[in-house]
């Protein structure tokens, strides 16, 4: 016996949690206002903070590439409506869960096609899942989110439209995993997978005509590092309520504009249509100016700003860090907690970020109302408590030669380290400067070094040659499964010490076990308690120093219809197939 979508009640409950007390959202500017259907055709330009690095969704690890490949070029088995906080059918039109709790059968829609006109079948779904798990595909971010207790999901073909998924254990919600399952064209990519070269296909400078997808858009042209022009996929499966084929737009231009000054000017000139995550000064200016550009504050987003220290015991080339002073400082829980107490989050949110941020005390932001632990301890600004912790760890605070304070460790070393920050992220550079001032008050000299996003990623994911980094998480969903790549010790985005073969600490091992436990718990309240326990371990051990959840502030030209931005990535483009030009 099977039963259909047995988690519907859970999703309703989840939605109730999320929508209660949320900041008001902008209502969609739909055609209903004028009684006319949305206009078909036209082009809009969207600002990316950094360049799209690949046309291969398997390699999407940075936000611009994720937006382009995961959300715009591809469709998934199910999708998530981030404004209404519910799952909705996508390539699949039904999901059945067998009463063993671990077998799921899906049925694909009829007559759905890839952009080249070839049918999408169960073989493509199975191929895509296998590609995600294949280490040679280098799909680390997706692979980790598709593992249950470190084990893979097995997919079996029933017929051309039906697939059976066998999960390693009981699961609370199949949608949490199927939302990550994009569908690749096996008729195009099968040879590359067999040759172990799937990670080499569809590079950013590839011929656009060879990139086959099933999302609302296809690639028209690429100027690497500068611009990605997408055009309507004529074979896109989705239609609007009136039966009109989507998307409405003929063209969507994703332009890399790292300089927010330039982006702001172009928005006012009308050569740029949408900016997400405005600077506070730009948001205030747009709100006061009126005119054709509108700005909205959606409240705290799901993404975080936090600091972490390098807890890797060795560099990538095998050089040990165990005997270095910095490794000894950073691996001492008391040092990390002292740093946390020394940071004035309230001031950073209210002053540095001009009120468009919320102080943060864990890795889950206030936007996630279901899964944020309401009893999570808050590390309030308390420099004296920071000093007590440092003293307990054997550090001493002395007066320096220039009357500034100096923190000295037990071996007589002056405590000084360098914080790496993305050069293109203005708000994080402002946060870094504020943290620098705060830490000086407890004798820590923190230098700031800026580098582009690619360099920062190399430091923490490849070379392990750094002191500390100010970055964060770009979370793509509300469920705990969205945090798998960050929490699990063997995952690629376990930022402070990624890709551990075995958990290096008892608390990381405990998190691994708790994560596996919550993944199979079907009762929402019990699952929440388990996930709350994980949050409390992170708060106690402090492998990251949470600082703020910036508000998602977006702006668009009023010529854009069906504008309904979300706090979740891809922000204003989550409904790109329904956006139109007035």
Q: Number of folded domains in the chain? A: 2
Summarised one tens digit per residue, pLDDT across range 333-392 is 999 999 999 999 999 999 999 999 999 999 999 999 889 999 999 999 999 999 999 999
DSSP, residue by residue, 45-88:
EEEESS---BS-GGG--SHHHIIIIIIII--BSEEEETTTTEEE
398 and 442, same domain (yes or no):
yes
454 and 567, same domain (yes or no):
no
**Do 129 and 181 touch, CB atoms closer than 8 A?**
yes
Per-residue model confidence (pLDDT) at position 170: 85
Is the per-residue pLDDT at 229 higher than 80?
yes
Per-residue model confidence (pLDDT) at position 150: 82
289 is a domain residue: no
Summarised one tens digit per residue, pLDDT across range 244-285 is 999 999 999 999 999 999 999 999 999 999 999 999 999 999
322 and 265, same domain (yes or no):
no
**Do 459 and 420 touch, CB atoms closer than 8 A?**
yes
Query: In b/e form, how buried is each residue of 471-507, taking b as 16+ CB within 10 angstroms?
Result: bbbbbbbbbbbbbbbbbbbbbbbbbbbbebeebebeb
Half-sphere CA count of 38, side-chain side, radius 13 A:
28
Is the per-residue pLDDT at 580 higher than 80?
yes
24 is a domain residue: yes
542 and 563, same domain (yes or no):
no
pLDDT band (50, 70, 90) for residue 578: very high
CATH number at residue 515: 3.10.105.10
> Domain range spanning residue 240?
2-273+559-581
Per-residue model confidence (pLDDT) at position 520: 81
Whole-prediction pTM: 0.78
Summarised one tens digit per residue, pLDDT across range 512-540 is 999 989 988 888 899 999 999 999 999 99
pLDDT band (50, 70, 90) for residue 148: confident
540 and 566, same domain (yes or no):
no
* Greater pLDDT, 403 or 109: 109
75 is a domain residue: yes
The average confidence (pLDDT) of the chain is: 91
Two tokens, residue 468: 């500390």
Mean pLDDT confidence for 496-502: 95
Summarised one tens digit per residue, pLDDT across range 67-82 is 999 999 999 999 988 8
Q: What is the H or E stretch that residue 184 is in?
A: none
Per-residue model confidence (pLDDT) at position 6: 28
249 and 326, same domain (yes or no):
no
83 and 102, same domain (yes or no):
yes
CATH number at residue 16: 3.40.190.10
450 and 386, same domain (yes or no):
yes
Instruction: Looking at 233-352, list the stretches that DSSP marks H as alpha helix, in order from N- to C-terminal side.
Output: 260-269, 280-289, 325-330, 333-342, 345-347
279 is a domain residue: no
Per-residue model confidence (pLDDT) at position 36: 57
Summarised one tens digit per residue, pLDDT across range 548-573 is 999 999 999 999 999 999 988 999 99
The Cα–Cα gap between 547 and 428 comes to 10
390 and 539, same domain (yes or no):
yes
290 is a domain residue: no
234 and 337, same domain (yes or no):
no
Per-residue model confidence (pLDDT) at position 21: 39
Mean pLDDT confidence for 150-178: 92
C-alpha distances (whole Å) from 180 to each of 108, 273, 439 are 16, 29, 40
52 is a domain residue: yes
Is the per-residue pLDDT at 398 higher than 70?
yes
pLDDT band (50, 70, 90) for residue 11: very low
Summarised one tens digit per residue, pLDDT across range 21-40 is 344 344 444 333 444 579 89
528 and 383, same domain (yes or no):
yes
147 and 238, same domain (yes or no):
yes
Per-residue model confidence (pLDDT) at position 381: 98
């Amino acid at each position: 016996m099977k039963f259909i979508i047995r988690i519907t009640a859970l999703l309703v409950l989840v939605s109730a949690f999320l929508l209660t007390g949320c900041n008001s959202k902008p209502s969609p500017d739909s055609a209903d206002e004028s009684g006319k259907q949305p206009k078909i055709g036209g082009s809009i330009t969207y600002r990316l903070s950094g360049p799209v690095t690949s046309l291969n969704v398997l390699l999407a690890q940075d936000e611009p590439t994720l937006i382009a490949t995961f959300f715009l070029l591809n469709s998934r088995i199910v999708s998530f409506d981030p404004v209404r906080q519910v799952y909705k059918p996508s390539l699949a039109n039904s999901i059945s869960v067998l009463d063993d709790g671990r077998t799921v059968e899906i049925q694909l829609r009829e007559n759905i096609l890839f952009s080249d006109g070839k049918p999408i079948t169960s073989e493509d779904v199975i191929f895509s899942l296998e590609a995600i798990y294949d280490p040679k595909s280098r799909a680390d971010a997706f692979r980790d989110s598709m593992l249950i207790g470190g084990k893979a999901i097995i997919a079996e073909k029933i017929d051309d439209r039906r697939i059976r998924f066998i999960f390693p254990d009981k699961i609370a919600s199949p949608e949490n995993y199927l939302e990550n399952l994009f569908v690749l064209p096996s008729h195009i990519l099968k040879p590359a997978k067999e040759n172990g070269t799937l990670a080499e296909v569809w590079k950013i400078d590839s011929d656009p005509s060879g990139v086959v997808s099933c999302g609302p858009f296809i690639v028209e042209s690429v100027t690497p590092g500068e611009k990605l022009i997408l055009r309507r996929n004529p074979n896109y499966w989705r239609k609007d309520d009136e039966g009109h084929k989507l998307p409405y737009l003929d063209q969507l231009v994703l332009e890399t504009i790292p300089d927010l000054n330039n982006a702001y000017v172009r928005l006012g000139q009308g050569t740029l249509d949408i900016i997400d995550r405005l600077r506070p000064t730009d948001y205030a200016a747009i709100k006061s100016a009126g005119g054709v550009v509108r700005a909205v504050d959606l409240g705290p987003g799901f993404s975080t700003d936090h600091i972490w220290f390098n807890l890797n015991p060795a560099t990538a080339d095998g050089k040990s860090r165990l005997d270095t002073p910095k490794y000894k400082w950073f691996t001492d829980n008391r040092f990390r907690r002292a740093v946390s107490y020394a940071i004035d989050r309230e001031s950073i949110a209210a002053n540095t970020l001009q009120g468009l941020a919320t102080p943060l005390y864990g890795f889950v932001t206030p936007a996630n109302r279901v899964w944020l632990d309401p009893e999570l301890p808050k590390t309030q600004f308390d420099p004296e408590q920071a000093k007590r912790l440092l003293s307990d760890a054997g550090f001493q605070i002395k007066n320096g030669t220039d009357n500034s304070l100096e923190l000295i460790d037990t071996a007589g070393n002056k405590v000084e380290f360098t914080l790496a920050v993305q050069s293109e992220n203005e708000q994080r550079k402002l946060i870094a400067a504020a943290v620098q001032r705060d830490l000086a008050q407890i004798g820590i000299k923190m230098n700031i070094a800026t580098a582009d996003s690619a360099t920062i990623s190399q430091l923490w994911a490849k070379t392990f040659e750094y002191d500390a980094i100010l970055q964060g998480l770009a979370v793509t969903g509300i469920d705990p499964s969205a945090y798998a790549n960050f929490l699990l010790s063997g995952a690629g985005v376990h930022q402070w010490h990624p890709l551990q073969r075995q958990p290096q600490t008892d608390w990381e091992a405990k998190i691994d076990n708790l994560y596996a436990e919550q993944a199979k718990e079907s009762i929402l309240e019990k699952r929440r308690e388990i996930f709350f326990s994980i949050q409390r371990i992170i708060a106690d051990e402090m492998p990251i120093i949470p600082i703020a959840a910036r508000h998602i502030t977006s702006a668009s030209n009023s010529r854009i219809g069906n504008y309904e931005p979300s706090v979740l990535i891809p922000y204003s483009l989550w409904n790109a197939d329904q956006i139109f030009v007035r």
